[in-house]
Amino acid sequence: MTEQLLSTRDVGSGPRDPAILGLLRPVPLTPEQVERASSFLKRVESLPTTAYGAVVAGAGPSLVEEYSRLARQSPAERKEASIDLVVKIGVVTLHNLGFRRAWNLEWTRSEMVEWECDDVGGFRKSPHWQHSYGSRFWKPKEISEEISYSGSSERHVSELRRVQKFATDQIRVPITDPHCMIHNNDNLYYYGKRLQKGEDETTSCLKGDHEAGLDFARRVTSNRVRRISETARPGEKIDIQFDNFTVTSEPREFDLPTLKKLGLNVPTYISEMKETTHSPPANIEFSQHNCLQKYEFYIGYIASELPNVTRFHYELSTHDSENLGLTAETRTGQGWDAIRLLKEHGLGRNQKVIIDVAPTYEGAKPPDPKLVRDRILYPIMTLGFEPNQIEVAPACGQRNLSLESMLAIDVNIHKGRDLALLQLQKRYGIDAEPHLTRSYLRSVRT
């Protein structure tokens, strides 16, 4: 399949509005929720994309009709059909917005760490809360014995099968990577094992996490990749996206003298990613999404150590200025610093950068399409990346948004993407495919 120039994708979870997710809960929907969901679904079905046309147009009942029918049923009656409809709404929403990867807005998941432990042995849930921020708390799990994989629930596989029913785009399956799984649970077993050998605390932490991460990669993640590959339909290629929000939370893991002392050639994170991606099945490709991090800690390993990971998403927009422009003075913040460093190190032959062009924090406003345009063009026209090395996405926190805000932000992302395409057409003389209506493009040309 030929990749669309400046292809767009979503990388995270969608708004957790009870108007949609209420379909999955054992309580009736309120009239206000039904009205809000209906309004949202009407907008989804009338989005101004022309690249494919709305996926549901002329294909059976509309989303609004399906939603209204299920909303009238009791939670027990609608249970199974509701899961399908929620998945379909997610898939159609992303498609109609113009995104070229299909998924379900992660509406079938509660979060990204505990959810992934379901078929993993060795984890025991803490009975006590821990504060994360604001009014958010979590119960960290404890790794209390050696990590194993039962494969009993196969949540990723059942999710994939549902998305396959509705997707017309390439499917992207998000998986929390081994490093994130170890660092966001209390690694008592492996840490304790090291301490018992008489190693100091620092060495015990680092070696314990390394050992646990590799066990998770070999025994759990590799099996997930295999099962997803086996579930792909003939001719289908699945994009497995590895997620991590704490890659560089332990800087010592990336410190060269420390690595040498531990006898490691590369940081633990890179070892785990290599272990997971070294020989992908033919119908699998890998991408990576890491929330805003000190990307510079590992950017130098990407081309040489992770040749089979083809796309890397960088969070940039939250810390970027809102000034228009294609200079280092206008494209600011640690995310852009990392992209500039990445240009120095270089990408591998088939590797691409996914640029985050729009913040998604609670209360974020839709970005000016011209600002989106400049965030896309800066790496191409100023830093010298090839146009086909750049793809486009929002930041990962769309779950923080209202349904309407998500639509507004994502529509503006695609308007900005089309403005960037217009510039590239002029500069490179290429015939690029717009997402949006020709009337929108005519209006911005004038």
| Minimal distance, residue 208 CB to other proteins, in Å | 10
Strand bridging mode 390-393 / 352-356: parallel
Buried residues in 281-313 as b, exposed as e (16+ CB within 10 A): eebbbbbbbbbbbebbbbbbbbeebbebbbbbb
Q: Which is nearer to other proteins, 270 or 364 (CB)?
A: 364
Q: Which is nearer to other proteins, 131 or 438 (CB)?
A: 131
Tell me which residue of 270, 176, 251 sits closest to 206, measured CA to CA. 251
| Minimal distance, residue 123 CB to other proteins, in Å | 13
| Minimal distance, residue 201 CB to other proteins, in Å | 6
Query: Residue 29 in contact with residue 95, Cβ under 8 Å?
Result: no
| Minimal distance, residue 173 CB to other proteins, in Å | 24
The binding track of 105-134 with respect to other proteins, each residue x by CB under 8 A or -, is ---------------------x-xxxxxxx
Q: How far apart are CA 316 and CA 331, in angstroms?
A: 9
Judged by CB under 8 A, the chain residues 182 through 241 that form the site for other proteins are: 183-184, 186, 188-189, 191-192, 195-196, 201, 204-205
Tell me which residue of 191, 188, 178 sits closest to 246, measured CA to CA. 178
Is 294 near other proteins (CB under 8 A)? yes
Is 295 near other proteins (CB under 8 A)? no
> In this structure, what DSSP letter does residue 342 have?
H
Q: Which is nearer to other proteins, 110 or 153 (CB)?
A: 110
Q: Which is nearer to other proteins, 107 or 191 (CB)?
A: 191
Q: How far apart are CA 395 and CA 318, in angstroms?
A: 8
The binding track of 163-192 with respect to other proteins, each residue x by CB under 8 A or -, is --------------------xx-x-xx-xx
Q: Which is nearer to other proteins, 143 or 407 (CB)?
A: 143
Q: How far apart are CA 328 and CA 300, in angstroms?
A: 21
Q: How far apart are CA 369 and CA 346, in angstroms?
A: 28
Per the rule left: phi > 0, alpha: psi between -120 and 50, beta: everything else, 228 is alpha
Binding site for other proteins (CB under 8 A): 126, 128-138, 140, 142, 183-184, 186, 188-189, 191-192, 195-196, 201, 204-205, 246, 249, 251-252, 292, 294, 318-319, 334, 359, 361-364
